[in-house]
Every structure is written in structure tokens, then in C-alpha cells.
Amino acid sequence: MANCPAVHGGYPSDYVAVSIAIFAVILLIVRSSFPFLIHKVPGARGSAFWIPVIQVVASFNFLLSLVMAGNFLKYKKSHWWLSCYVWAVWVEGPLGFGLLMSCRIAQAFQLYYAFVKRRLPPVRSHIFLPLIVLPWIAGAAIIHVKKPLNCRCHLQTYWVIAVMCLHALYVAALVGFTGAIRHIEFRFDELKDLWQGILVSASLIGLWVSAYILNEIHDNISWLQVTSRFILLFTASILVLVFFSISISQPLLTQISFIKREPIEFKTMCQALGIPDSGLLLHREQAVVIDPNEPLDKLLTHKRFRQSFMAFADSCLAGESVHFFEEVHELGKIPIDDPVRRIYMARHIINKYIIAGSAMEVNISHRSRQAILSTTDLTHPDLFINALNELIQLMKMNLAKDYWSSMYFLKLKDETSVRSNGYEMEQMSGAYSFSPRLSCVNAFDDPFHQDHFSSGSSQDVHHPYQ
């Protein structure tokens, strides 16, 4: 230990770097939880939820491992859990940077299959992610057995080459997936976030290699070690902030302002994709007479009826089917020759209604569910047709019977009647306001015919040809 200059921490620059790392972790936690705490956005399920959570945990592990293994703090390594092999090998590798890169590769893998192959990934994320972390675990186990670390937690030269090859392999895989989807016109920030992650991770690896070479060549210069570890931790703090992305897992959350507490610009995926008249109910829309004898699927195509029926279903805690119908109905408005928007909408519907345990999972048969999840074309116009038919039959047998005798239908009926009368009056008043004639009633039947003769327009009545 005497031959390891500056092996102990406690320099002012060390505390500054640690403070920056703590601030980065706090900012990362706030950034990841902001939409749910401030705007009360409902949480997602599945990989859309736990991959961003794993990213936050991996970022924390990565920064903490750099602090503990980089000798930023002055302490004695008297316990086994303070050794370099715990922090510099296991926490920094499989549980830190390796896990962080694996999460981003898993997200790029999902985008590649959804928008290039137009299908869901053949391997679920909870299986794919552990598989791509295995090389890091194997590498950490080998290093732990061989114990090639020196007193500064640095590897020997040939070990560094092997570790850098592993880092470069994951960056190359990320570049490969990102390059395969670069031609896709994404509606959110997915591609930009992927390129940012590649740039920052490659920069950090280059900085790490440079710092290692300088420290090994000039191992007797204390200020070089202090400066290099400060720059390394500072750059890593920036990495975890830039590397974190929620646009790939939950793209709608990117529409929420992090600075201003303003209303969410896009409340639904339909509005975010620019689907015409999505979520809008025009006040001047002509009222449609609701006939209970008409088929339910035809009635649900009318927005006023659908919203009334949806409110009734929500009051019965059974609104998932109606919400599903509405989103599939909005999907049908997207042209077939616009595959990107159709894939966005199809993925949204699958994540929200189809996947087991999803936020609003609908009650459909296992056969229909598997047919959707195993589809080879997410843009197919009949992707949800079987599930939709099953849910319409369920609504006919359950919700529809109770709806016709509910206050929701009576209220809709009154509103429809009022709007219908108002619309007819508006049409009549509009017609009369543009008519040059005063009346079509004969003079002898008109009790106000004296007023007509007193006005200058009476000539039009008696002399129509002048």
C-alpha cells in the first residue's frame, strides 16, 4: 500500500465529484418519477415499467461503484464488502455499466422488431435482459477468481484489453440496432435518445482508457490520479442522466414538460399521433337518434353514445371493453399506408389491454390473445377484430341490458332531444335569415298584412315580375 500514491481519498476535488454524483442520482430519480408524482400519470406494467426502473438502479450502482473503487473517500478496507472485487468488478460491471448498456440494447431490440419486423419481439424482455447480462457476470466471475487487480483497483494490461473488448462489443451491438432503425420516422424521441446514449457511452469508455494509460505510465504523480478520477466520476454522472430514456418504453411521457407544471399536451396516444377528431366532441355536431334496437357495435361508432355508454361502464367498474373499442376504432382511422403510426397505436393497445396483468386487461379468450401477441404484422387492419367481436358479445349480454334502463341513457336521450330541436331551430333560423321574402302566407290570411303594405317591400309581393 505504501507504493500506491493517492490511494486514499479526501481531496477537495473528491468531495466535489461525489457531490455532483449525488446530485445526478437525485435528479435522475426526480426525472423518472416526475410524471407519476406531479401529473398523476397511471403507471405502466411489464417491461415498460421495470426497464426504466432497472436503468435507475443500474445508474446508482454504477456511480456508487466508482466512488467506492476509485478511492474518493478516506476509509480503511477492513471488511470484505469494501474490497475492489466487490465494487470494481461486480457492482460496476454486471450490476452497473453492464446492466445499463443491456437495458438500452433491450429497448433498441424492441424498437427493431416492432418497426422493422412489424411484430413483437420473439423473446420477452424479462428473458432477453438476463441473457445479455450473462457475459458481464461470466467476466466478473473470472476476474474474481484470477484476482488481477492491483492496490488502486486497476487491472493489468492484457486484462484491460479483454474488458474493453467487452465494453466495445455492447456499444457495437447498440450501434447495430440503432443503425437498423435509423430510417424509421419516429414520432417521439426514441432515435435521438439512442444516438445520445451511444455517443456518451463511447466517450466514457475512451476517457476510462485514457485515464488508465496515464495512471499506469505516471503512477507516481498524485495529482494525475486525483484529476483523472474526478473527470471520470463527473463524466459518469452526465452519462447516467443522458443515458436514461423513457421515450422508448413510455413515449407519451415525453410530452410532459419537466420544467413547467402545465397541462399535458397530448392526453391520449390518439391525439399524440394526430388522429383526426380523436377525443373531440364537437358542440355543433348533429344529434343522432339512438335506437336501442340497432346493433351495439353500430351504436358505439357514434361518439356521444360511446361516451355515455363508457361512463356507465366505468361506473360499473367494467369500462375496459368500451375503452378498448374506442381505441381500436381510432386505430381504424389511420391509413394502411402509414405503418409507423399504426404500429405506435397497436403497441399502445397491446400494452394497455392485451398483455396479461396490463393496466386495463380485457376479458378475451386465450386464443384471441395469443393470436394478437404472435402476429407477424402489427399493421394488419384485422389485428384486433376477433377480440373486438368477443367483447361486443360480452357487452351485449351484460352492460347493454342494464344501460337502457340507467340514468345515463335517459340523460343521453334528453340531451339528444334538446340538441335535435336546437339543430332544427338553427337550420330554420338560418334559412329565414338568408331569405329575401317576408312571408309565403296570402295577404287575406295574414293578420299582419297591413304591416306588409306599409313597408317598402310590399311591392315584391304584389309585383313579383317587376
**Nearest CA-CA partner of 403 in 310, 320, 317, 337:** 310
Neighbours of 316 (CB within 10 A): 12
**Nearest CA-CA partner of 278 in 360, 337, 348:** 348
| Alpha carbons 433 and 419: distance in angstroms, whole number | 20
Q: pLDDT category, 43, cuts 50, 70, 90?
A: low
Q: pLDDT category, 116, cuts 50, 70, 90?
A: very high
Q: Is residue 5 pLDDT above 80, yes or no?
A: no
Q: pLDDT category, 18, cuts 50, 70, 90?
A: very high
Phi, psi of 138, deg, nearest 5: -65, -45
Residue 363 exposed, middle or buried by CB count within 10 Å (0-12, 13-18, 19+): exposed
| Alpha carbons 444 and 453: distance in angstroms, whole number | 12
Q: Give the CATH fold of the 269-423 domain.
A: Regulator of G-protein Signalling 4; domain 2 (1.10.167)
Instruction: Report the percent of the chain where pLDDT is more than 90.
Output: 45
Instruction: Report the percent of the chain where pLDDT is more than 70.
Output: 77
3-state secondary structure 111-161: HHHHHCCCCCCCCCHHHHHHHHHHHHHHHHHHHHHHCCCCCCCCCCHHHHH
Q: For 16-30, 77-91, 331-345, which range has the lowest pLDDT when averaged over its residues? A: 77-91
- DSSP structural state of residue 96: I
* Better pLDDT: 263 or 400: 400
* Better pLDDT: 389 or 4: 389
pLDDT, mean of residues 348-370: 92
Q: Is residue 355 pLDDT above 50, yes or no?
A: yes
258 Ramachandran zone, left/alpha/beta (phi>0; psi -120 to 50): alpha
Q: What is the pLDDT of residue 457?
A: 39
Sign of CA dihedral 7, 11, 15, 18: negative
- DSSP structural state of residue 41: P
Q: For 219-233, 272-286, 288-302, 438-452, which range has the lowest pLDDT when averaged over its residues? A: 438-452
| Alpha carbons 401 and 11: distance in angstroms, whole number | 75
Q: What is the pLDDT of residue 264?
A: 46
Collect all residues with Cβ–Cβ distance below 8 Å to 373 and sequence separation of at least 6: 120, 350, 354, 355
Q: For 113-127, 210-224, 397-411, which range has the lowest pLDDT when averaged over its residues? A: 210-224
Q: What is the pLDDT of residue 272?
A: 83
DSSP letter string, 168-206? HHHHHHHHHHHHHTTTS--SSSHHHHHHHHHHHHHHHHH
Q: What is the pLDDT of residue 34?
A: 73
First-to-final CA distance of the chain: 118
Collect all residues with Cβ–Cβ distance below 8 Å to 38 and sequence separation of at least 6: 261
Going from the C-alpha of 77 to that of each of 66, 167, 170, 358, the distances in angstroms are: 15, 28, 32, 46
Q: What is the pLDDT of residue 259?
A: 46
Q: pLDDT category, 41, cuts 50, 70, 90?
A: low
Domain limits, CATH 1.10.167.10, in the chain = 269-423
Residue 318 grid coordinates: 367494467
| Alpha carbons 138 and 357: distance in angstroms, whole number | 33
- Rounded to 10 degrees, what is the CA torsion of 52, 53, 55, 56? 120
Q: What is the pLDDT of residue 354?
A: 94
Going from the C-alpha of 335 to that of each of 119, 220, 330, 339, 341, the distances in angstroms are: 18, 68, 11, 8, 9
Q: For 36-50, 382-396, 401-415, which range has the lowest pLDDT when averaged over its residues? A: 36-50
Q: Is residue 453 pLDDT above 60, yes or no?
A: no
Q: What is the pLDDT of residue 219?
A: 64
Going from the C-alpha of 82 to that of each of 38, 68, 92, 138, the distances in angstroms are: 38, 8, 13, 21
| Alpha carbons 466 and 464: distance in angstroms, whole number | 6
Averaged pLDDT score across all residues of the chain:
81
Q: What is the pLDDT of residue 7?
A: 52
Domain limits, CATH 1.20.1070.10, in the chain = 12-251
Q: Is residue 460 pLDDT above 50, yes or no?
A: no
| Alpha carbons 288 and 208: distance in angstroms, whole number | 68
CA atoms within 13 A on the CB side of 136: 24
Q: What is the pLDDT of residue 131?
A: 96
Q: pLDDT category, 1, cuts 50, 70, 90?
A: very low
Radius of gyration of the chain (CA): 33
Q: pLDDT category, 11, cuts 50, 70, 90?
A: confident
DSSP helix/strand/coil, 334: coil
* Better pLDDT: 453 or 207: 207
* Better pLDDT: 254 or 336: 336
| Alpha carbons 77 and 55: distance in angstroms, whole number | 29
DSSP H/E element including 424: helix 407-433
Q: pLDDT category, 188, cuts 50, 70, 90?
A: confident
Q: What is the pLDDT of residues 264-285, one digit of tens each?
A: 444 688 888 888 876 555 444 5
| Alpha carbons 410 and 338: distance in angstroms, whole number | 40
pLDDT, mean of residues 5-22: 81
Q: pLDDT category, 435, cuts 50, 70, 90?
A: very low
Residue 11 grid coordinates: 481531496
Place of cell 363508457: 310
CA atoms within 13 A on the CB side of 61: 21
Q: Is residue 260 pLDDT above 90, yes or no?
A: no
User: Looking at domain 12-251, which of 1.10.3760.10, 1.10.10.10, 3.20.20.80, 1.20.1070.10 is its CATH number?
Assistant: 1.20.1070.10
Q: Is residue 220 pLDDT above 80, yes or no?
A: no
Sign of CA dihedral 318, 119, 385, 367: negative
